[in-house]
Amino acid sequence: MRNEDKERLNRQSQKKYFFHRLRNGCRAVWKNTVQKIIMFAFYPAAILIWYLFKNNLGLEDIPLISPVFIVLVDMMLPALLIGGTFVILILFGTPYGFNQMSNEFQRIGMTNSAGEVPMLLSREKDKKYGNVEILEFDGVGIPLTEWEKERGYIEAALNVNIVKIIEGRNKRRILLHVIPANSGLPDFIEWNDSYLTDDDSTLILGKSQLGMESVDLSKIPHILLGGSTGSGKSILLKVLLVQSLKKNAIVSIADFKGGVDFPRVWNDKCKMCFDEDTLLTLLTELTDELERRKTLFRDTGCANIGDYNKQSAVPLQRHIFACDEVAEVLDKTGLTKEQKERIGLIENRLSMIARQGRAFGIHLMLATQRPDANILSGQIRNNIDCRVCGRADTILSQIILDNTTAAEQIPKDKAGRFILHDGTVFQGFWVDESSIF
């Protein structure tokens, strides 16, 4: 792009930004009482006082000031009123720190092909989360994916922690939800029953910079947990299962890591299985229960388990099937034909629950290090909307979340730190099952 073209585009952008600031200033004056007073009372009064008492200043006695200048001062009153009004409106419409942020973006090379940097349009406190500030930018054509990619540089340049980055009312507007740089997530949070929610379908995942992060099984029925070894998947799974048990759900657990992660106390509370034959029987029972509920809901005219429990004297319990390290079950590498057929039956039942389980209160919680296509079929994976990733490299993050944000945003030394499919980072809870039960 030629320099003259860049200059022309920059002039257009500056002109657009000028009118945006003017418009914002008008809105600010309209909404803010203090600014109304300044605009319509204080400033006109200051001009009037100047005009009334300028003769007492003795300007005509100063040799360097000519009578022509004094006449011009008299004639400038309307210009001062009009021009000063525009200046005040522009000042009111200019968000604090816009120039500094533009310079910081320039320093890290956050520019488009014309050399333009994102322009700060507004900044305001989040109405829901008081510690969060929302910075709205004109992205000058830089796409959201590029903002996500440069997230670390932006945080360092603006000296903030970015909670999330989303598009505004159109693709040109980018909203940064930020908190001060000295505010961060704790490295350890112990589970407490006071975190439990009242309804039977909402489970708390952990604590983010926006507060508690949760998943509503009535809307997002299944959960996939991924991450490298030692990232805390099993602990997070246990936290979700503890909540499910305390909400009177029927919990079934398949553990193909020798049962070491689920001590004896879990056997008293849940249905446990450690081999493929028992697992196939368990999943068959769950699909049979799904079919039974399907008939029951059809006969009673109910659309889902929530509707049924509202009108039934005997409410139905939710069923939770959890599998820790599902790859140990579904990996067909090196298996015989008969073994592959048995795994196929297990996949078939998991797929049925994944497709139909939401309305009937039957949910999957699957944890694995690497849930690629060789482990989870597309039909199962596509029906699991809640995906959570712990510590991971770029390839693993791409497999779990379909992006590389886990590799970019979760430090390698952080256990129990996770990121959701929507980009929200949270710290999971630590649970001591022996004391909880």
Question: Are 257 and 321 contained in the same domain?
Answer: yes
What pLDDT is attached to residue 31? Answer: 74
**Domain stops at, among 129, 160, 184:** 184
Which domain does 12 fall in, by range?
1-94
Which CATH number fits the domain that encloses residue 174?
Answer: 3.30.980
CATH number at residue 286: 3.40.50.300
> What average pLDDT does range 243-268 have in this prediction?
86
Is 70 exceeded by the pLDDT of residue 34?
yes
pLDDT at 347: 93
Taking residue 250's Cβ as centre, other Cβ atoms within 10 Å add up to 18
Average pLDDT, the chain: 85
pLDDT tens digits along 39-49: 667 777 776 77
Q: Is the pLDDT of residue 109 over 80?
A: yes
Is residue 257 predicted with pLDDT exceeding 70?
yes
Q: Strand locations in 264-333, DSSP E?
A: 271-273, 319-324
Residue 21 carries which side chain, given as an amino acid letter? R
Q: Is the pLDDT of residue 355 over 60?
A: yes
Tell me if 126 sits within 8 A of 133, measured CB to CB.
yes
Is 0.85 topped by the overall pTM? Answer: no
Q: For 173-230, what is each residue's pLDDT tens digit?
A: 999 999 888 777 888 999 988 999 988 999 999 998 888 999 999 999 999 999 888 8
At residue 65, the pLDDT reads 52
pLDDT band (50, 70, 90) for residue 249: very high
Residue 317, φ and ψ in degrees, nearest 5: -90, 150
Q: What is the mean pLDDT of residues 243-254?
A: 94
Short-list 121, 122, 174, CA closest to 151: 174
Asked which of 75, 94, 113 is the last residue of a domain, the reply is: 94
Determine the Cα angle at 358 with ends 354 and 362, to 5°: 75
Number of domains in the chain: 3
Is the pLDDT score of 64 beyond 70? no
Q: What is the pLDDT of residue 93?
A: 73
pLDDT at 57 over 70: no
Same-domain pairing of 232 and 345: yes
More confident residue, 368 or 54: 368
Do both 84 and 211 map to the same domain?
no
Residues 309 and 247 in one domain: yes
How far apart are the C-alpha atoms of 173 and 169, rounded to whole Å? Answer: 6
pLDDT digits over 362-417, tens only? 999 999 888 877 778 888 888 999 999 999 988 888 888 888 888 888 888 888 99
Mean pLDDT, rounded, for 129-156: 89
Confidence (pLDDT) at 8: 78
pLDDT of residue 264: 81
**Residue 343 and residue 389 share a domain:** yes
Which residue has 């805390």 as its token pair?
A: 232
Please tell me whether residues 390 and 427 are part of one structural domain: yes
| Cβ atoms of residues 206 and 427 within 8 Å | yes
Last residue of some domain: 94, 114, 140? Answer: 94
The residue-averaged pLDDT of 344-357 equals: 94
Range name among 24-28, 220-224, 400-404, 424-428 with the lowest pLDDT average: 24-28
Do 290 and 351 sit in the same domain of this protein? yes
Q: Is the pLDDT confidence value at 128 over 90?
A: no
Label residue 437 by pLDDT band (50, 70, 90): low
Q: Please check whether residues 258 and 361 belong to one and the same domain.
A: yes
Stated as kind and residue range, the H or E segment containing 206 is strand 202-208
Query: pLDDT value at position 369?
Result: 83
Between 407 and 434, residue with greater pLDDT = 407
The span from the CA of 76 to the CA of 62, in Å, is 20
**235 and 104 share one domain:** no
The answer to which of 14-28, 59-73, 78-92, 268-282 has the lowest mean pLDDT is 59-73
Determine the average pLDDT of the residues in 341-358: 94
Beta bridge partners of 216: 202
Q: Which residue has the higher pLDDT, 77 or 399?
A: 399
Residues 212 and 320 in one domain: yes
What pLDDT, on a 0 to 100 scale, did the predictor assign at position 174? 94
Q: Are residues 355 and 297 in the same domain?
A: yes
Per-residue model confidence as pLDDT tens digits over 275-301: 889 999 999 999 999 999 999 999 999
| Buried/exposed 115-138: b ≥16 CB within 10 Å, e otherwise | ebbbbbbbbeeeeebeebbbbbbb
Percent of the residues in the chain that have a pLDDT greater than 70, as a whole number: 89
Amino acid 23: pLDDT: 78
In terms of domains, do 116 and 74 share one? no
Please, which pLDDT band fits residue 55 given cuts at 50, 70 and 90? low
Question: What pLDDT, on a 0 to 100 scale, did the predictor assign at position 351?
Answer: 94
Beta strand spans in 211-361 (E): 211-216, 223-226, 250-255, 271-273, 319-324
* CA distance readout (Å), 215 to 228, 320, 432: 22, 14, 22
Q: What is the pLDDT of residue 366?
A: 93
